[in-house]
Each structure stands twice: as structure tokens, then as C-alpha cells.
Amino acid sequence: MKRPALSVIVIGFDMARELPRTVTSLLPPCQRGLEIEDVEIIVVDNGSAQPVTRDLFSQEADIQILRVDDGGVSPCRAINRGAALARADHIALMIDGARMVSPGMVRAALDAAGSSPNAFVATLGFHLGPKVQQVSVEEGYSRDVEDRLLADIGWPNGDGYRLFEICALGESYAMGVLAPPTETTFFVMRKAMFEAIGGYNEDFVQLGGGFASFDFFRRAVEAAGDGFIMLVGEGTFHQLHYGATTQAGGIRRQAEAGRSLGDLFAQEYEALVGRPYGRVQSMPLLRGRITHPAVPRLFFASTG
């Protein structure tokens, strides 16, 4: 079997509707400039009530399913176990398996990753729908509405870049690429580099991993140095699945004893990292192209 150019780890929990779309978006013909054997996909089922099965996905693609029953409500253990199985030199991670990707994502990320041995290639994250989903669900947005939006743009058979017509910037990416975000929804780096910085910290045990991705992003950016790259014109698109931070209220919703989910996440982060969470200060190298007329508005958000 040909060794893949990229191993993509996709974490899923109770995403029977969303996971097949995500995986489809990661493979040709949805992905451009690739052969199907270029990509290995490792779907890690983090304890779904209805186990993920191989027959949900393309039978032609190199896809394996890993079931993790002891991961808890955090995906960190599942992430590290999935990464350990990767056969490619470069890995990508999608911590939220409900995120579809734009058509040039894999090719652009691989090309950028090849520019430096320490490259850490990150992307912006968008929500399908008119606003971030923790807001839009309170204004009538639903899975049925989302299904109609996708049908209206002809996904998956039409131009996948039309996803930019039916999305909003996620909260972590409010300034687009003009400021480094606090996390990323899809990244590519060398597997050896992922392992060298310790992967995901499995001591983050809050719902959805809390701010584990903030911690990993900071460590990866520091390790990358001048190899920190943000893609322009490619992104991920979150499907509605009422996740930990994308249901009504988001991280501001009450969790326990009058404290919000965000309060619990911040407390755990500070206890584990030794300082309050915050945005990294390193500015990335921007790499990409205008793939759709909506790209300038979305990626350079603060300039309109």
C-alpha cells in the first residue's frame, strides 16, 4: 500500500449525521489536486452511543476506525491515540468531526507544510448559518435549515467554495487572519513535531477538552517559530450538532453553582499551564489565494 502524504485524525462523538459529510469533504473529488491514496483518514470514535462503523464512509478511501471507550468527555486521549496510528510524515487534526473543509484545504496545507521543517499550518474556522451557532440556534437555525442551505449551494457536487456564502466566522477567529487566533480547527504539522511537543495534554478533562486546544496551539506556535503559517482562502465549516460550546449560550452558559462553562475551562487552563489563557503574540506568515468573492470580507474581517 502506498504511504499517504497526510494522515488526518478526525475525532467524533455522536455525529452520525455530520461525520460522513466531514470525511467526504476531505477526499477527492471534493478535495482538489489530490489522488485518493494521498490521504489516510483515522476516524476516532470517542465513545459514541451508536458506534461509528466503516460502512458510513467511502469504500475506496484509506479510512480506519478507532474506538476509544475510556476517553471521558474530553477528546485529548482520543486525539493522541489517533495520532499514534498515523502512517504519514505529516498529520492533520480535526478535533471536531463535524467540520467540513473547503476544496483546496488538504493540497494548500500540505504545500505550506513543506515550506519549513518546523511548519505549523493553521486555518480559520467558520460556522454554517447566518451567525455563530450558539446564537443562531436561538433564532431558528436548525439541522433542517442547514440541510437546505447545503442543498441550495449544491454541496457536495457543486463548487465547494460556495460554503463561504453560507457561513459566519467562529468566535475564536473574529479578526480573521489579521491577528493570531487562540486555537485552530484544522492544522497540519510533522508527526515528529506533534510528538516532540507532547501532543494534547490529557490532563484537560473538561467537557469537549475545555481550553486544551488553546494550550496545544500556543505550544505548537512556539515550536514552529518562523514556520507558523495561516492559510487564506481555505477553512473549516462547522455543522450544527449542539456540541459543548456551540449550543445555545456557548461557553457562557451556566455549568455549575452559578459558574459558566468558560469559567471552568479558564480555571482548568490556569491550573495546568500556570498562567491565564490568552492569545499568542506571534504573527503568522499568510499563505493562500482568493478562492471566493467572500474571502476578503471573512479573512480580513476587521477591515470589512
With respect to residue 241, please indicate whether it lies within any of the assigned structural domains.
yes
> For the whole model, what pTM was predicted?
0.94
How many domains does the structure of the chain reveal? Answer: 1
What whole-number distance in Å separates Cα of residue 112 and Cα of residue 233? 13
Contact 225, 216 (CB under 8 A): no
DSSP class of residue 206? S
Q: Is residue 225 part of a domain?
A: yes
Give residue 301's pLDDT: 75
Chain centroid, CA 76 distance in Å: 14
Is 136 contained in some domain? Answer: yes
Q: In the predicted model, what is the mean pLDDT of residues 292-300?
A: 96
Write b or e for each residue in 226-254: b if 16 or more Cβ atoms lie within 10 A of its Cβ, otherwise e.
Answer: ebbbbbbbbbbbbbbbebbbbeebbbeee
CATH number at residue 222: 3.90.550.10
The two beta strands, 187-190 and 120-128, are antiparallel
The band of 109, judged by pLDDT with boundaries at 50, 70 and 90, is: very high
Evaluate whether residue 304 is within a structural domain.
no
* Beta partners for residue 120, in sequence order: 228
Tell me if 186 is assigned to some domain.
yes
- Of 299, 276, 46, 284, the C-alpha closest to 187 is 284
Among candidates 284, 282, 21, 271, which has minimal Cα distance to 146? 21
> Which residues are 122's β-sheet partners?
187, 230
Residue 215 lies in a domain: yes
State the residue range of the domain holding 143: 6-299
Is the predicted pLDDT of residue 157 greater than 90, yes or no?
A: yes
| Rounded (10°) angle between helices 212-224 and 261-273 | 40
Sequence-ordered list of residues with C-beta below 8 angstroms from that of 125, at least 6 positions apart, any chain: 99, 169, 170, 172, 173, 184, 185, 186, 235, 236, 238
- 247, 127 contact by CB (below 8 A): no
- Of the pLDDT bands very low, low, confident and very high (cuts 50, 70, 90), residue 91 is very high
Task: Give the number of other CB atoms < 10 A from CB of residue 30.
Answer: 21
Query: Which of 165, 205, 157 minimizes the C-alpha distance to 291?
Result: 165
Could you tell me where the DSSP H helices lie in the chain?
18-25, 76-84, 105-113, 133-136, 143-152, 191-196, 212-224, 261-273, 295-299
- Angle at CA of residue 113, ends 231 and 175, nearest 5°: 20
Per residue in 161-181, pLDDT tens?
A: 999 999 999 988 988 999 889
Convert the pLDDT of each residue in 188-235 to its tens digit: 999 999 999 999 999 999 989 999 999 999 999 999 999 999 999 999
Please give the single-letter amino acid code of residue 175: M
Q: Per the domain annotation, does 1 fall within a domain?
A: no
- Residue 48 in domain: yes
d(CA 35, CA 47): 31
Residue 257 phi, psi dihedral angles, 5° rounding: 45, 45
